[in-house]
Amino acid sequence: MSTVVDIQNLAVTFATDGTPVRAVDGVSLNVQAGEVLAIVGESGSGKTVTAKTILGLLPSTATVSGVVMLGTNDVVQVSGKRLREIRGTDVAMVFQEPSTALNPVFTVGWQIAEGLRAHGKYSKKAARAKAIEILGKVGIPEPAERVDYYPHQFSGGQKQRVVIAMALVLEPGVIVADEPTTALDVTVQAEILDLLRRCRDDFGAAIVLITHNMGVVADLADRVAVMYNGSVVEEDNARSLFANPKHEYTQKLLGSVPKLGTGLAQTQARAAARPIVEKDPVVVADNLVIEYAGRFGRPGFRAVDGVSFKIHAGEVLGLVGESGSGKTTIGRTIGGLTKATGGSLMVLGREMRGIRERDFKPLRSDIGFVFQDPASSFNPLLTIAEAVAEPLLVHKKAGDVAAARPRVNELLEAVQLPRAFGDRYPHELSGGQRQRASLARSLALDPTLLIADEPTSALDVSVQAKVLELFTELQRDLGFAALFISHDLAVVDLLADRIAVLYRGKLVEEGTGAEVLGAPQHPYTQRLLASLPVPDPVEQAERREVLRALREAE
């Protein structure tokens, strides 16, 4: 095997408004032809910066030292002209968000041909033929026709296939894939991972895979480099790294990944300890329909279509589904942010369909809401204490922020934040700390129902594990009912008493964790489960076969 990328002692420093930040500090890595090297790390570990250096894509504020040999060229030293020649032919990139990586005003065929024309003479006809060929190879159906389609005419997964086609068309030796599946649903993710595997096997390309998802690593990688704070802390081949992590941080990281099935024992123990009162449900949805109004003359979009479920007092219902399945819409409707348009939705004994804000307002003190993105769910100009005190002030439980402070301190302690954090501004907290503060705010009025909309999906795994643990503890102590919305089955499995699976606005399966995850009935649930990569290369290889069989059966 020959070495295609050789990084020696790479250091990257960014100039900022404050002191310069060293993002990458003395990294040495190499990539062999035809292998997949995964660079794993949490946000801020320098993995993306390392990968971008291979293409010379760093912004002008970066200062690079060290050597990045790509074939016979040192990317750090070469001229802009030479760099342009290398890009595309020697190294190509697959971006995280396929919908922003494609230009919306050109056809995909044109965009593929543009890469070709930049590196040699192609007639229009030849470039088009080549584009059709490559689109067929990455699994776009009817490529001869779809080469003239615009990006918006493709689904998210297909767009990512087109981006991969653009990267493959010049047959580069190395493809850098920066979180190529993070923006995609689990079932689509499995397909893209299959395609990337084929890039390696059929096209012989080496792949540098940047990801934070250990399941993806287990599925695809041959070798793994774990990065932390700008340095590589461990590097090993995939099987031995997962079986036998040596560095403390790697062990922590692997230990934090939620795994399917671990929640079962917990849930059973919880159910035994606390018999759920069946008689007065907090939320009852009966054939609930939620439509978004369409534009003039067009029919509206039906986000939720005839969904029925119940949440009993003190129970945690996990709502799982992919993007567009209507799970967030249901949560927002219960929280009174979106209107129900059909069927019936009773929240705390009040019919939500056609309810007026004035009638609903008293109920709001009984409902807590935790939002997905901790970065934007706090007013940047209020301190944490002011933000947590807001609900108390609004419902006249306290006269001003100072009067509310004792209760705020109590809440901050309940979510395990030091009192002093109350005087900080949101940007001075990390993501996990902010999400704890968000939890504190939602619990300020002692709600009987808590709606958590993907509360951990913006967090790193080690932080996610802590927040989930905290959530479980608080739920056990305070006994509120909760609707926990997530796209991640493993997360829901950890803390939900019952799981409901949504698919395209319809509820396809509902039951306890053991029922839904242990013996899924609906084919969609089966596929969803099989698509979820587990952080264990050996087991994942078996699961891949199961998924393939499942897909062929359909």
Partner 1 sequence: MTSLSSASVSPPKVAWWKRLPVVHQLRQSVGLQRGMLIAGLIIVGVFLLVAAFAPWLAPYGYSQLKDADGNFGAQQPPGGDHILGTTVGGYDVLSRVIWGAQTALLVIVVAVVLSIFLGIALGVISGYIGGWLDRVLVVIADAVYAFPSLLLAIVAAIIISGGQSNLWSGIFSAAVSITVVFIPQYFRVIRAETVRIKSEAYVESAKVVGTSSVRIMSRHVLRNATRSLPLIFTLNASEAIFTLAALGFLGFGIEPTSAAEWGYDLNKSLSDVTSGIWWTSVFPGSAIVLVVLGMTLVGESLNDLADPRLRTRKRASGTPAPAAETTVVPGGSIESAADIAHLEGRP
Least CB distance from residue 482 to partner 1, whole Å? 15
Residue closer to partner 1, measured from CB, 399 or 418:
418
CA distances 157 to 16, 185, 347, 473, Å, are 36, 8, 37, 38
Q: How many CA atoms lie within 13 A of 466 on its CB side?
A: 15
Tell me how far apart the alpha carbons of residues 241 and 253 are, in angstroms, rounded to a whole number: 12
Identify residue 466 by its one-letter amino acid code: K
Binding residues for partner 1 restricted to 461-500, rule: CB under 8 A: 462-463, 465-466
Span near partner 1 by CB under 8 A; candidates 128-136, 161-169, 341-349, 384-392:
384-392
Span near partner 1 by CB under 8 A; candidates 50-58, 105-113, 135-143, 422-430:
422-430
Q: Which of 130, 159, 327, 441 binds partner 1 (CB under 8 A)?
A: 441
Under the binding rule (CB under 8 A), the answer on residue 455 touching partner 1 is no
Under the binding rule (CB under 8 A), the answer on residue 364 touching partner 1 is yes
Binding residues for partner 1 restricted to 276-335, rule: CB under 8 A: 335
Question: Total residues contacting partner 1 (rule CB under 8 A)?
Answer: 74
**What percent of the residues of the chain are helix, what percent strand, and what percent coil, each to the nearest 5?**
45, 25, 35
Tell me how far apart the alpha carbons of residues 27 and 536 are, in angstroms, rounded to a whole number: 26
Residue closer to partner 1, measured from CB, 45 or 213:
45
Q: Which of 215, 263, 318, 432 binds partner 1 (CB under 8 A)?
A: 432
Least CB distance from residue 129 to partner 1, whole Å? 39
Binding residues for partner 1 restricted to 386-405, rule: CB under 8 A: 387, 390-391, 394-395
Tell me how far apart the alpha carbons of residues 193 and 543 are, in angstroms, rounded to a whole number: 13
Q: Which of 72, 73, 1, 76 is nearest to 31 (CA)?
A: 1
Q: Which of 3, 9, 20, 280 binds partner 1 (CB under 8 A)?
A: 20
Tell me how far apart the alpha carbons of residues 515 and 496 are, in angstroms, rounded to a whole number: 12
Helix (H) or strand (E) holding 161: helix 156-168
- Total Cβ atoms within 10 A of residue 473: 13
Residue closer to partner 1, measured from CB, 161 or 332:
332
CA distances 542 to 40, 179, 241, Å, are 23, 24, 18
Span near partner 1 by CB under 8 A; candidates 112-120, 189-197, 299-307, 435-443:
435-443
Least CB distance from residue 227 to partner 1, whole Å? 11
Binding residues for partner 1 restricted to 45-64, rule: CB under 8 A: 45-46, 61-63
Q: Which of 187, 183, 147 is nearest to 166 (CA)?
A: 147
Encoding tokens for residue 501? 């699976």
Residue closer to partner 1, measured from CB, 58 or 260:
58
Least CB distance from residue 14 to partner 1, whole Å? 7
Under the binding rule (CB under 8 A), the answer on residue 522 touching partner 1 is no
Least CB distance from residue 16 to partner 1, whole Å? 7
Q: Which of 56, 314, 318, 336 binds partner 1 (CB under 8 A)?
A: 336
Under the binding rule (CB under 8 A), the answer on residue 361 touching partner 1 is yes
Tell me how far apart the alpha carbons of residues 470 and 468 are, in angstroms, rounded to a whole number: 5
Under the binding rule (CB under 8 A), the answer on residue 545 touching partner 1 is no
Residue closer to partner 1, measured from CB, 328 or 540:
328
CA distances 378 to 206, 258, 386, 510, Å, are 43, 27, 10, 34
Under the binding rule (CB under 8 A), the answer on residue 13 touching partner 1 is yes
Rg for the chain, CA atoms, rounded = 25
Residue closer to partner 1, measured from CB, 145 or 428:
428
Least CB distance from residue 333 to partner 1, whole Å? 12
Least CB distance from residue 10 to partner 1, whole Å? 13
Under the binding rule (CB under 8 A), the answer on residue 9 touching partner 1 is no
Under the binding rule (CB under 8 A), the answer on residue 367 touching partner 1 is yes
Q: Which of 95, 378, 484, 524 binds partner 1 (CB under 8 A)?
A: 378
Q: How many CA atoms lie within 13 A of 26 on its CB side?
A: 2
Q: Which of 42, 178, 185, 234 binds partner 1 (CB under 8 A)?
A: 42
Could you tell me whether strands 281-292 and 231-237 are parallel, antiparallel, or unpaired per DSSP bridges? unpaired
Tell me how far apart the alpha carbons of residues 199 and 206 are, in angstroms, rounded to a whole number: 8
Residue 302, beta-bridge partner list: 291
Tell me how far apart the alpha carbons of residues 449 and 441 are, in angstroms, rounded to a whole number: 14
Residue with tokens 């419902």: 395
Residue closer to partner 1, measured from CB, 143 or 326:
326
Residue closer to partner 1, measured from CB, 402 or 549:
402
Span near partner 1 by CB under 8 A; candidates 7-15, 314-322, 491-499, 521-529:
7-15
- Please state the φ and ψ torsions of residue 253, each to the nearest 5 degrees: -60, -50
Under the binding rule (CB under 8 A), the answer on residue 373 touching partner 1 is yes
Least CB distance from residue 247 to partner 1, whole Å? 9
DSSP string, 533-552: --S-HHHHHHHHHHHHHHHH
Q: Which of 309, 371, 471, 480 binds partner 1 (CB under 8 A)?
A: 371
Tell me how far apart the alpha carbons of residues 419 and 411 are, in angstroms, rounded to a whole number: 9
N-to-C CA span, the chain: 40
Binding residues for partner 1 restricted to 129-168, rule: CB under 8 A: none
Tell me how far apart the alpha carbons of residues 147 and 162 are, in angstroms, rounded to a whole number: 10
Per-residue x/- marks for partner 1, 212-241, CB under 8 A?
A: ----------------xxxx-x--------
Tell me how far apart the alpha carbons of residues 355 and 352 are, in angstroms, rounded to a whole number: 5
Residue closer to partner 1, measured from CB, 137 or 436:
436
